[in-house]
Amino acid sequence: MKHLKIPDDLSKYKKSLEAKHRPDTTRIFICTTGCRALGAEEVCKAFKDEITKQSLAGKIEMVETGCQGLCTRAPVLTIEPLGIFYGRATETDVPEIISRTIQKGEVIDRLCYSEAGKRIPYVRDIPFYSKQKKIVLKNCGSIDPRNINEYILRDGYAAFAKVLTSMTQEKVIDEIKNSGLRGRGGAGYPTGIKWEAVRKVQGDIKYMVCNGDEGDPGAFMDRAVLEGDPHAVIEGMLIGAYAIGSQKGFIYVRAEYPIAVEHLKIAIEQAKSLGLLGNNILGSNFSFDLDIKMGAGAFVCGEETALIASIEGKRGMPRPRPPYPATSGIWGKPTNINNVETFANVPVIFLKGSEWYKAIGTESSKGTKIFALAGNVKNTGLVEVPMGTTLREIVFDIGGGIPGRKKFKAAQMGGPSGGCVPAQHLDLPIDYETVKEVGAIMGSGGLIVMDDSTSMVEIARYFMEFCQDESCGKCVPCRIGTKRMLDILTRITKGEGTKEDIGLLKELAEVTKTASLCGLGQTAANPVLSTIRYCLNEYEELIDKKGSQSSTQQTPVTQP
Amino acid sequence: MHKAVTIKKEGVPAVDLTKCRAILAKHTGATSADLIPILQQMQDAYGYLPQNTLEEITASMRIPLSKIYGVITFYSQFSLEPRGKHTIKVCTGTACHIKGAPDIKKKITEVLHIHEGETTKDYKFTYEPVACLGTCFLAPVMMINERYYGKLTTEKTEHILKSY
Ligand SMILES: Cc1cc2nc3c(=O)[nH]c(=O)nc-3n(C[C@H](O)[C@H](O)[C@H](O)COP(=O)(O)O)c2cc1C
Ligand code: FES
């Protein structure tokens, strides 16, 4: 690979890649990340074998991509330039796809996406796709994440080159501030203000950290971004590092994400050999080095001070703030921590400008948000929509509604720190503030749909069990508060609850919320409070019926 | 997250330290920040963290054994006991939970006679829960070693377990 020495080299390199591009080649984009679980690799191999057998190399090219979003149809593939989408393909379908679809342009009905009995062969017509706005996910599912050239062909690293050659640190931060970008890791803190704080702290060593711990059960957005477009995250980190004056970065990835780690390793290697990471990048006096840190299985390590402790090789226990990481982070040095999706938003802000970015979204929340849509919904998968989209649009228009003859009951947002949004709020435009008002949080983007057969008390119990198990035990309110609340919830789901239990729960919730050391304890009671707020009748029914519902404790959560 | 730890001094077979020393040799000059990566590599090499490897780490990194145990017992990934040949990770995340993960867990216990966190007597399987594998669209899901099995039913689970 060529080593880029000056910023101009990047655009020249891109031109040389464009010259090699052959528009007449049919390209088959197949997801080999999430879809691996349902045989995508075997299908891909079958295509490659067939291409060799029929000597079609040069005419047909396989592109192994990250998540294409419509995971429910896994393994999925898109055929370009035809624009055809196929799902649930197997090895045996391969010869037919080549002979009929690619060579004759015919559509194979059984592989098409269908909705309300109608087959929809073309990507552009599938509501799941046409109703989304892909900014962060624009490359995810349409490039090979293991090939930096494909990222560069999509204007990759151009934003960074622009920043490096024509912008001061202050200007970069102003641009981010003006864009209105807020952290996607849960709390929605303005990214520009965070960067500015770290920039202003004196110190020759500063760290730039990407939080890819994604421990929130039911969330897989960060996994998809890291697997499907790792360079976007690296480029975002580079721009941030330049702005705050950092030379060293870490990406902290959850232990359960082996493919993300694999793709990140490749991406970092390739960026290094092209000269986009390392010393004196593109001939400037800016240097930046990036390492991967693998988590070891602890949810609380997603909390920033715990994450710092974990990077330092310690037990991942949070500590009180202040001092904030901005002044005292890794090894006591100024440290900036952002979420994966936050970083992935950065390049496009510089490519298209903060004014363009700002025009998307609502008054208080700009840009788009990626949601991991799961649970009792037809189209489970990954969706990106502008802030301000309603829950109804996400669940029904994009998600295709509730399977079977069941009804929508609630969506759980923000995982164990969040709450449920019931049917009466389906038309609520989703942004950081509105979601909070109704008692949930935006969180990282997990959105679990529940139908009318789901027991909300059981869901509250489930989340409390999770928090209790993941509580690091350092502070008493969280350690004991979660345990006691779990005891009560378990009692209620077993049909052994009493009338007083609800009051007791609320009281415990309040104490745990106000007295806990970190976000884990402070938010652990949210699912309880939100289910009491909207589904008090379910609690009361269980308490009144005493014993008759005892089977709901472990099984079945969703009655058949 | 919190594991009951029994530190058995006697009766625990000491393992051959060749692999352990090779790993430590790759990390000369390692600081405490390298402890977790070193433990991860150790566990990859031995399948768990044998007592005598920890003693080697203590000596070579000059980190007290108590600190090392502190780290090991904090993170659910680490194991101080020998593990089965195959690791079954059953997702207990939200999406899997509402789609029937509790039934899958029951089935595993029924077929293998072990509970979460345990290893079968013949060291064939270790069974552990994990909160979300990030493949919620396949719910309910389990992973055996590096392989995912999605859209599980109790019958399918039994069939899969018996195929190993
Ligand atoms: C218990 C707990 C778990 C968290 N887990 C994550 C996580 O997995 N990923 C993440 O980006 N932020 C997580 N956070 C939030 C981080 O502490 C931090 O606010 C975030 O990484 C900042 O990035 P942002 O400003 O880009 O959102 C967690 C917070 C708490 C309290
Ligand atoms: S909840 Fe099971 S894979 Fe996410």
Q: Which residue of B has its CA nearest to A315?
A: B71
Q: What is the mean pLDDT of residues A421-428?
A: 96
Measured in angstroms, the CA of A473 and the nearest CA of chain B are apart by 9
Least confident range from A22-31, A190-199, A261-270, B2-11: namely: B2-11
* Contact call for B74 and A316, based on CB within 8 A: yes
Contact present, A339 and A444 (Cβ < 8 Å): yes
- Is B99 touching A (CB cutoff 8 A)? yes
Specify the domain boundaries for CATH 3.40.30.10 within chain A. 23-126
Q: Is the CB of A497 under 6 A from ligand 1?
A: no
Q: Which fold has domain A23-126?
A: Glutaredoxin (3.40.30)
- Is B103 touching A (CB cutoff 8 A)? yes
* pLDDT of A554 higher than 50: no
Per-residue pLDDT of chain B (164 residues; tens, 9 = 90+): 545 454 555 556 789 999 999 999 999 999 999 999 999 999 999 999 999 999 999 999 999 999 999 999 999 999 999 999 999 999 999 899 999 999 999 999 999 999 999 999 999 999 999 988 888 888 999 999 888 898 999 999 999 999 99
* Contact call for A313 and B99, based on CB within 8 A: no
The closest residue, in CA terms, to atom 31 on ligand 1 is A519
pLDDT digits (tens, 9 = 90+) for A279-298: 999 999 999 999 999 999 89
Tokens describing residue A421: 């949004």
Q: Is the CB of A230 under 6 A from ligand 1?
A: no
What b/e string do you get for A497-514 counting C-beta neighbours within 10 Å, with b at 16 or more? beeebbeebeebbeebbe
Measured in angstroms, the CA of A16 and the nearest CA of chain B are apart by 38
Q: How far is the CA of A553 from the centre of ligand 2 (A)?
A: 20
Residue A383: which of A163, A133, A123 has the closest Cα? A133
> Using 50, 70 and 90 to split pLDDT, how confident is the model at A486?
very high
The count of other CB atoms within 10 Å of the CB of residue A266 is 15
Cis peptide before A81 (omega within 30 of 0): yes
Q: Is the CB of A192 under 6 A from ligand 1?
A: no
Q: What is the mean pLDDT of residues A451-465?
A: 94
Among B39, B71, B94, most A C-beta atoms within 10 A, so best to mutate, is B94
Contact present, A242 and A169 (Cβ < 8 Å): yes
Q: What is the pTM of this model?
A: 0.94
Residues of chain B by 3-state class (helix, strand, coil), percent to 5: 45, 10, 45
Res A255: pLDDT? 84
* pLDDT of A68 higher than 80: yes
| Ligand with minimal distance to A344 CA | 1
Q: Strand (E) positions, A200-355? A: 207-212, 248-253, 289-294, 335-339
Q: Is the CB of B141 under 6 A from ligand 2?
A: yes
Specify the domain boundaries for CATH 3.40.50.11540 within chain A. 156-354
Specify the domain boundaries for CATH 1.20.1440.230 within chain A. 456-552
pLDDT digits (tens, 9 = 90+) for A117-176: 899 999 999 999 999 999 999 999 999 999 999 999 999 999 999 999 999 999 999 999
**Ligand 2 pocket: which of B89, B104, B132, B137 to mutate (most atoms within 8 A of CB):** B132
Measured in angstroms, the CA of B32 and the nearest CA of chain A are apart by 6
Res A558: pLDDT? 47
B window 105-134, beta carbon within 8 A of A: 106, 130-134
Res B11: pLDDT? 53
Q: List the CATH code of the domain at A156-354.
A: 3.40.50.11540
Contact present, A30 and A76 (Cβ < 8 Å): yes
Res B135: pLDDT? 86
Total number of residues shown for chain A: 560
Q: Which atom in ligand 2 lies closest to the alpha carbon of residue B139?
A: 2
> Using 50, 70 and 90 to split pLDDT, how confident is the model at A550?
very low
* CATH 1.20.1440.230 at A456-552, yes or no: yes
* Contact call for A296 and B76, based on CB within 8 A: yes
* Contact call for B106 and A555, based on CB within 8 A: yes
Top CATH class of A368-451 equals alpha beta
A451: left (phi over 0), alpha (psi -120 to 50) or beta: beta
* Contact call for A315 and B99, based on CB within 8 A: no
> Using 50, 70 and 90 to split pLDDT, how confident is the model at A507?
very high
Cβ-based contacts of B98 with chain A (< 8 Å):
375-376, 448, 450, 454, 459, 557-558
Q: Which residue of B has its CA nearest to A450?
A: B98
Q: ipTM score here?
A: 0.90
Q: What is the rounded distance in angstroms from the CA atom of residue A507 to the CA atom of residue A153? A: 57
A313: left (phi over 0), alpha (psi -120 to 50) or beta: left
Specify the domain boundaries for CATH 3.10.20.600 within chain A. 368-451
Distances (CA, A) of A81 to A22, A29, A122, A200, B19: 12, 11, 11, 49, 51
Q: How far is the CA of A320 from the centre of ligand 1 (A)?
A: 15
Q: Is the CB of A190 under 6 A from ligand 2?
A: no
Res B147: pLDDT? 87
DSSP assignment letter at A398: I
Q: Is the CB of A294 under 6 A from ligand 1?
A: no
Among A220, A252, A291, most B C-beta atoms within 10 A, so best to mutate, is A220
Q: Is the CB of B143 under 6 A from ligand 2?
A: no
The count of other CB atoms within 10 Å of the CB of residue A469 is 16
Q: Is the CB of A300 under 6 A from ligand 1?
A: yes
Residue A451: which of A399, A405, A492 has the closest Cα? A405
- Is B33 touching A (CB cutoff 8 A)? yes
Res A11: pLDDT? 95
* pLDDT of A219 higher than 70: yes
**Ligand 1 pocket: which of A194, A211, A293 to mutate (most atoms within 8 A of CB):** A211
Tokens describing residue A481: 């508060």
CB–CB contacts below 8 A, A to B: 150
Res A124: pLDDT? 94
Tokens describing residue A453: 């057969």
pLDDT digits (tens, 9 = 90+) for A366-398: 999 999 999 999 999 999 999 999 999 999 999
Contact present, A119 and A238 (Cβ < 8 Å): no
- What lies within 8 Å, CB to CB, of A408 at 6+ separation is A395, A396, A401, A402, A423, A426, A449, A450, A451, A452
Res A216: pLDDT? 87
Res B3: pLDDT? 52
Average pLDDT over chain A, rounded to an integer: 94
Q: How far is the CA of A266 from the centre of ligand 1 (A)?
A: 25
